[in-house]
């Protein structure tokens, strides 16, 4: 005998509830899968640290000799329009790229030296002072070529566009810049040399300004593939509420910008996951004393910002600047006055770059053609050739004084002080005792530097029959000499040969060039 259990019909309410539960489970699975894919995509892009270096600041910063691993990745700043040519890139209007490669900066060689050590270099266009190229170069094709000339010169895989002031406010320049960068990016991609582009913008605790969002929108309108938007978390001024720390203002700015970028990308048909969007954000504090007197970014702020960046998965951390990553000396009296060479706070033996960059990657750039010859250790030391050496070959018989440059075993060295018969690449000499500073390798295409001579009659010829007072100048063998003190019958020949005890100081090539330029301008 069998028993039958009568079936139970589900009510309409229960069917609706069941369908809703199934839909929620499916949606949850979809969202979970989406978040997983987002996290995976974000983790595929490494978070990096790269500190800014002010190339033309005085005293010069030796980025080619990094003091920490964090200092091996640099953003060289700033390329702007030349004063006399609106489409010519220059370093801060002071040097053309060719001039920057000369003895005063020796920039190409120093870049090659950093690459030898596994470092990487990118270049920033714009900045607060002077004109970013898009402001003055009004032809898009010429503007693209100007950007390209810098990228090709330094074999860059990443550039930074630092837009402030007029460079940010000019809407026509925003569009022109975006079109030029999009064209360059497309050309590089076709050549299988992709170019990453970061947009660096001012920010408030409430996020990007209206001008900042317009700059991002202009790039997206032109189909520029932005690596990210780098926030200048500094100089907040009145936008920072009283009692708010620099860390709090910086993290608030980052959170707000994350939401703004989400809206901007969605408006352009790109729905980017939250984690991937954090990878498109960079944070750049001004270490120590900011330009706003009561704004000081402390060591504790650096630790907190680093931890925030790691927790959120921020794509890039920078700082302004590596030049300033040191405690000011006791002879610097006013710490509220921003220095190019120190932070204005007691760093207690620590480096902001180390605190901000801990655990973040240093991008590995391909060695440029100018550095590849020297990029690896060689079994035999290269022979130095006077015909291809930019400076004289070192000799144990010669006397060298501070600033003199020589070539030895394929590298260029500069004398720190008077020296004779001390081998430049002595492997056991400590930095404080060696009289030589390694600048970088001899580059392909190098040739002997031409000696700059002054025209006859610039100054009177030296005469053994005359008495000279301190500061008087003479000509000798086509060179200019200046008397150190009262002297008579003391030939400038000793100074020409490098003797520190000579009564005369010989003008360097740079000094002669500056003197001749001053005379011609009068």
Which fold is adopted by the domain 377-449? Seminal Fluid Protein  PDC-109 (Domain B) (2.10.10)
Query: Per residue in 399-425, pLDDT tens?
Result: 777 888 899 999 999 999 888 889 998
**CB distance 89 to 136 below 8 Å:** no
Pure H helices in 352-412: 352-357, 369-372
**CB distance 246 to 205 below 8 Å:** no
**Phi/psi of residue 253, each to 5°?**
-60, -40
Pairing of strands 120-126, 158-162: parallel
**Phi/psi of residue 461, each to 5°?**
-70, 145
What's the pTM? 0.80
**Which token pair is 509?**
């090539």
**The listed CATH number (3.40.50.1370, 3.30.365.10, 3.20.20.80, 3.40.640.10) that belongs to domain 48-357:** 3.20.20.80
371 has pLDDT over 90: no
Average pLDDT of every residue of the chain = 89
Identify the pLDDT of residue 441: 93
77 has pLDDT over 50: yes
Among the listed residues 45, 104, 164, 358, the single catalytic one is 164
What is the spatial distance between Cα 316 and Cα 122, in angstroms, rounded to a whole number? 13
pLDDT band at 37 (very low <50, low <70, confident <90, very high): low
| HEC sequence for 35-77 | HHHHHHHHHCCCCEECEEEECCCCCCCCCCCCCCHHHHEEEEE
**Catalytic-residue membership of 211:** no
CB atoms within 10 A of CB 231: 28
Identify the pLDDT of residue 500: 74
What is the spatial distance between Cα 466 and Cα 443, in angstroms, rounded to a whole number? 45
User: Average pLDDT, stretch 259-284?
Assistant: 97
Q: What is the share, in percent, of the chain residues with pLDDT greater than 70? A: 88
CA dihedral 477, 389, 512, 458 (to 10 degrees): 30
Identify the pLDDT of residue 449: 75
List the domain boundaries for the chain. 48-357, 377-449, 467-521
Residues ≥6 apart with Cβ < 8 Å to 268: 217, 220, 221
183 has pLDDT over 80: yes
Residues counted in the chain: 522
CB atoms within 10 A of CB 1: 2
Query: Per residue in 483-515, pLDDT tens?
Result: 999 999 999 998 887 677 899 998 877 788 888
User: How many whole angstroms from its chain centre is CA 258?
Assistant: 25
């Amino acid at each position: 005998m069998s028993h039958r259990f009568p079936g139970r019909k589900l009510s309409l309410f229960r069917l609706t509830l069941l369908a809703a539960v199934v839909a929620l489970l499916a949606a949850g699975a979809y969202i979970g899968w989406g978040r997983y894919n987002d996290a995976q995509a974000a983790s595929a892009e490494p978070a990096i640290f790269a500190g800014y270096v002010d190339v033309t600041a005085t005293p010069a910063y030796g980025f080619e000799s990094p003091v920490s691993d964090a200092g091996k990745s640099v953003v060289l700043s700033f390329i702007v329009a030349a004063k006399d040519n609106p489409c010519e890139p220059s370093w801060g209007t002071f040097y053309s790229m060719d001039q920057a490669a000369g003895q005063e900066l020796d920039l190409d060689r120093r870049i090659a030296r950093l690459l030898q050590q596994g470092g990487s270099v990118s270049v920033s266009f714009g900045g607060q002072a002077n004109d970013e190229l898009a402001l003055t170069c009004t032809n898009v094709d010429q503007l693209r070529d100007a950007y390209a000339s810098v990228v090709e010169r330094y074999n860059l895989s990443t550039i930074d566009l630092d837009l402030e002031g007029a460079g940010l406010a000019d809407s026509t320049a925003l569009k022109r810049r975006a079109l030029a960068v999009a064209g360059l990016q497309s050309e590089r991609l076709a050549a299988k040399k992709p170019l990453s582009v970061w947009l660096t913008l001012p920010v408030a605790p409430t996020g990007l300004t209206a001008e900042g969002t317009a700059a991002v929108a202009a790039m997206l309108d032109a189909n520029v593939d932005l690596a990210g938007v780098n926030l200048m978390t500094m100089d907040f001024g009145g936008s920072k509420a009283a009692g708010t720390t620099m860390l709090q203002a910086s993290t608030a700015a980052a959170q707000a910008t994350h939401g703004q970028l989400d809206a901007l990308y969605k408006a352009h048909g790109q729905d980017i996951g939250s984690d991937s969007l954090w990878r498109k954000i960079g944070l750049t504090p001004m270490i120590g004393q900011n330009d706003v007197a009561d704004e000081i970014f402390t060591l504790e702020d650096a630790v907190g910002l680093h931890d925030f960046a790691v927790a959120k998965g921020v794509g890039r951390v920078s700082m302004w600047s590596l030049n300033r990553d040191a405690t000011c000396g006791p002879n610097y009296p006013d710490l509220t006055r921003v220095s190019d060479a120190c932070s204005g706070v007691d760093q207690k033996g620590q480096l902001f770059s180390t605190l901000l960059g801990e655990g973040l990657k240093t991008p590995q750039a391909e060695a440029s053609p100018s550095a590849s010859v020297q990029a690896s250790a060689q079994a035999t030391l290269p022979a130095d050739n006077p015909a291809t050496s930019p400076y004289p070959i070192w000799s144990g018989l010669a006397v060298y004084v501070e600033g003199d440059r020589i070539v030895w075993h394929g590298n260029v060295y500069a004398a720190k002080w008077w020296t004779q018969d001390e081998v430049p690449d002595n492997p056991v000499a400590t930095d404080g005792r060696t009289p030589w500073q390694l600048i970088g390798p001899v580059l392909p295409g190098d040739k002997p530097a031409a000696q700059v001579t002054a025209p006859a009659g610039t100054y009177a010829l030296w005469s053994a029959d005359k008495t000279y007072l301190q500061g008087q100048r003479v000509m000798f063998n086509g060179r200019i000499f200046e008397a150190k003190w009262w002297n008579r019958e003391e030939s400038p020949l000793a100074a020409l040969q490098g003797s520190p005890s000579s009564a005369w100081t010989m003008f360097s090539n740079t000094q002669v060039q500056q003197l001749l330029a001053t005379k011609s301008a009068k």
